[in-house]
Amino acid sequence: MYQCEHGGVVRLKLAVDPDLGPLAAELSSLARGAGLDAVGITGAEPFGSTRRHLEQRKAAGLHGGMHFTYGDPARSTDPDRALPGARALVVGARSYRRAAPAPPRGNGVYGQVARYSWSDHYGPLRDGLGVVARHLEANGWQARVLVDDNAMVDREAAHRAGLGWYGKNTALLLPGKGSWFVLGSVVTDAPLPPTTASAAGGCGSCARCLPACPTGALVEPGVLDARRCLAWLLQAPGTFPIDLRPALGGRIYGCDDCQEVCPPNRTEDRRHPPPPAGDEDEPWVELVRLLERTDAELLAHLGRWYIPRRQPRYLRRNALVALGNVGDGGDGRVVRALVDGLAAGDPLLRAHAVWAAARLGRGDLVAGLAASETDPEVRTELAAAGLTG
Within its chain, how far is the Cα of 7 from the centroid?
Answer: 41
H helix or E strand, kind and range, residue 157 = helix 154-160
Dihedrals φ, ψ of 115, to 5°?
A: -55, -40
User: DSSP secondary-structure letter at 146?
Assistant: E
Q: Residue 373: exposed, middle, or buried by beta-carbon count in 10 A (0-12, 13-18, 19+)?
A: buried
- Please give the sequence-ordered ranges of beta strands (E in DSSP) within the chain, or none if there are none: 2-3, 9-10, 38-43, 88-95, 110-113, 143-147, 165-166, 172-173, 181-188, 218-220, 223-224, 251-253, 284-286
H helix or E strand, kind and range, residue 31 = helix 21-33
Dihedrals φ, ψ of 187, to 5°?
A: -90, 130
Distance of alpha carbon 182 from alpha carbon 264, whole angstroms: 17
Angle between helices 332-342 and 347-359 (to 10 degrees): 140
Distance of alpha carbon 228 from alpha carbon 63, whole angstroms: 10
Q: What are the angstrom distances between the C-alpha of 105 and each of 101, 109, 239, 286, 330?
A: 11, 10, 31, 11, 18
Dihedrals φ, ψ of 372, to 5°?
A: -120, -10
Q: Considering the candidates 80, 120, 148, 149, report the single residue annotated as catalytic.
A: 148
Question: By C-alpha distance, which of 182, 236, 223 is closest to 58?
Answer: 223
Q: Is 148 a catalytic residue?
A: yes
Residues in the chain: 389
Residues assigned a catalytic role: 148
